[in-house]
Each structure stands twice: as structure tokens, then as C-alpha cells.
Amino acid sequence: MAWSRRAFIGATAASVTGLSLIPGLIPARANAQANRQKTYGVVEIRRGGMSVAAYRFDRDQLGRRKLSGFERMAPEPTGKAFVETELASPLGPAADDAMAAQSVDIVAGHIDRLKSQHGLQTSDIAVLVSGGLIDFAPGRVEQFIAALPARTGITPEIISIKDQARLGYDWIVRPADRRNVMHVNIASGTIKGGYYDQHGQFVALSAPYGAKTMAGAVKLRWPVVRTATVGQRASEFYGDTVAPVLAPQIATEPPPRQRPNLYLTGGIVTATAVIFRPKAIIHPHPWVEMQPDDFANLLGLIASGTPYGGPLPATLTGEEGDRVRDALRRVRNSFNPHEMAAGAAIGDGLARQLRFDQRTRLALPQLAGTQIWVSQYLFEKFG
């Protein structure tokens, strides 16, 4: 997986998720494993970017419905589950009208490359449009969806934020564990997550702000805000704008004792773990345990002028230190200090609203991958 701004989101260990040919396998075993694998392509477009990926599924795992989506793709960390390229969104706010007008040609070009590089057929490729993009640019999305099928033979599918929340949950959590787990994803553009109720129905929660979109909103309200005070302003914005959106959704949520495990994903979660638990991040542990006050502590670092943490722990070896510095470099490339502050304010606000301190476990599923809902979507479409 080529590292880029958003490819960081799945954490350092995301590069070892999934199944691929394992170095050292004898040719017969390697060929047998290759014959069990099937590759699918996906182009996913959202407000903040566009990912183009090729996923390899092991046919032997697809029918194991008792496992989570991730476990079905990657029962052990033996290699990459997919290769991914992160690009600018041709329909998002950073795209001018000329780029938006070329969106069909841009996506068609990536579809052609998926076919040529991975030997895919048209029926092996999906084009997904995040529902959040429709709220921003309905006209652009409508024109794109109308024109792409004639150009490529592929009809784009709009995936609502609620569906993304459910797909992300199923990617991480086994069906048998649903009564014990709540999941929240703090993305760049949205907060989304949810849980399964006693009737087996998924209950989603969402808000149209993430680390990057809230940072932009804070800057719009307080144009001269500085790094030393941006955390305070971001917390104010969360309190008067984001929290009221989530409050009625959270009011119907079961008490923490009924959903004792809260799983957190998203770039700011991984960034926080890199800063406070670097050793856990650089080793391929499936889970990184978080603490209820992690995001409050991150706000404190930002206010003190060290948004990316201080000196590295003395317990790190030389090689470990190099890997942590590389991970921190990716954090800096992914989030500027104001975006770090916005993400930390979201995490801190959620800690209070979702009562992190009353949960038995607060954890980052590090090996879950980058675009978790996209992964589960492909399972359900092609599996």
C-alpha cells in the first residue's frame, strides 16, 4: 500500500492486513493459494478524496459468516489485503468546475487501469459515491451518475452515511459479539458509528463533522484563531454545534454496561495512538488499548505547542524509534495542528457523551484496514 495522506488512516500495521502470497512458499502451495484468490476493484469518491483500490479475497473465507468481515479477509496478518491509491476528489469542494466536468473521464481512466493492471472485468469493479457528497454537490453527483454508465458500463452506487456506519461495524465485529460492542469512526468529514439493538437491527449515529471539516468550520467562525487556542475553540464548536446533533441519537443508546466494548477508528484515533502508545502502533498487534482521557490529553499537548507529542520514550530501540518517527511524519502529513485540535475535540466530546470512562474496553482495531466500510461492501456485493 502506497502511503499517502489518507492511507495513513488505517494505522502503521494496516500494511500487513489481509491475505497475499507469502514469501517462501513453495511454488505448488503458492499456486494453490493464488487459485483460491479473486481480485475486485473499487473506486470510492467522497468529499475529501477518492480512493482506487484492488482487493484480493480468499474464496475459502467468504462463506465463514460467523467471522467479522476483517477476519474473513485476514485471519492472520500474512500480507496485504489490497493495494490502494489516494487521490483528490473530482466532485468535492477542492475540485473546480473544470475538474468536476472531467470527473467521468477521470474515473473511467482509473477503471481502465484497474482492468489492465489486475486483469479485471467490468463486472469485477464497483464505483461508490459517499452519501455525504450529495449534500455538498447534488448537481455534480447527479451528472456523474447519469454519465458514467454509458462511458464505462458501470453504474455508480450511492452509499449513505448510515449504511457506511453499518458496513464498518460488520467489518470489525463478529455477529456473536454484537450485543457487547459499539463502534464509532471519527473520519475527516464525518462522525459515524452505531450498534445493534436487541432485535438485531443496526442503529446508526452520525454528525456531518470530522477532523478536517470541523477544523474548517472553526476557522470560519474564528478567522484569527491560533494553534495555542484552537483546541479551546474546537471544543466550544463541538459543544454548541456537534453535540446537539448527536445528543438525541445517543439518548436512545443502551447504557455502557450493555455495550461495554467501544471500538474507535479513524485517522485522528490512530494519530492519538501514535503519540501516546507508539510501541503498540509500530508492532502488528490487532488491537491498541485506548484510555478515556487520551483526547483530552492531546488537547493539552496542542495548547502547549506540541501537537505531535514530545520526546520519544527512552524504552524504544533505535529501529523502533525510526519507525515511530516515520509514523509521526505520516501524522503531520495527514493533519495540520488545527485539524489535530478539531479531531481531539471531537474525541474528547464523544468521551463525555458516550461515557468512555464507564466502558470496560476502549480500543482501536489496528488491523481493520483503511476504508473499512468499502471492504465490507465488497464482501457483501461479490461474496
At 215-252, the pLDDT tens digits run 999 999 999 999 999 999 999 999 999 999 999 999 99
Query: 21 pLDDT exceeds 80?
Result: no
CB 139 within 8 A of CB 54: no
pTM: 0.84
In sequence order, the 6+-apart residues with CB closer than 8 A to the CB of 148 are 104, 107, 108, 127, 154, 155, 156
E strand or H helix that includes residue 205: strand 202-207
Task: Delineate the domains of the chain, giving CATH numbers in brackets.
Answer: 7-160 (3.30.420.40), 162-368 (3.30.420.150)
pLDDT of residue 72: 77
Mind listing the pLDDT tens digit for each residue in 171-221? 999 999 999 999 999 998 899 999 999 999 999 999 999 999 999 999 999
Q: How far apart (Å, rounded) are the C-alpha atoms in residues 294 and 279?
A: 16
Gyration radius from the chain CA atoms? 20
First to last CA, the chain: 23
Residues in the chain: 383
Q: How far apart (Å, rounded) are the C-alpha atoms in residues 250 and 305?
A: 33
In sequence order, the 6+-apart residues with CB closer than 8 A to the CB of 18 are 56, 73, 74, 78, 79, 80, 81, 82, 369
Query: 93 pLDDT exceeds 60?
Result: yes
SS3 (DSSP) at 54 = strand
Copy the grid coordinates of residue 216. Answer: 474548517
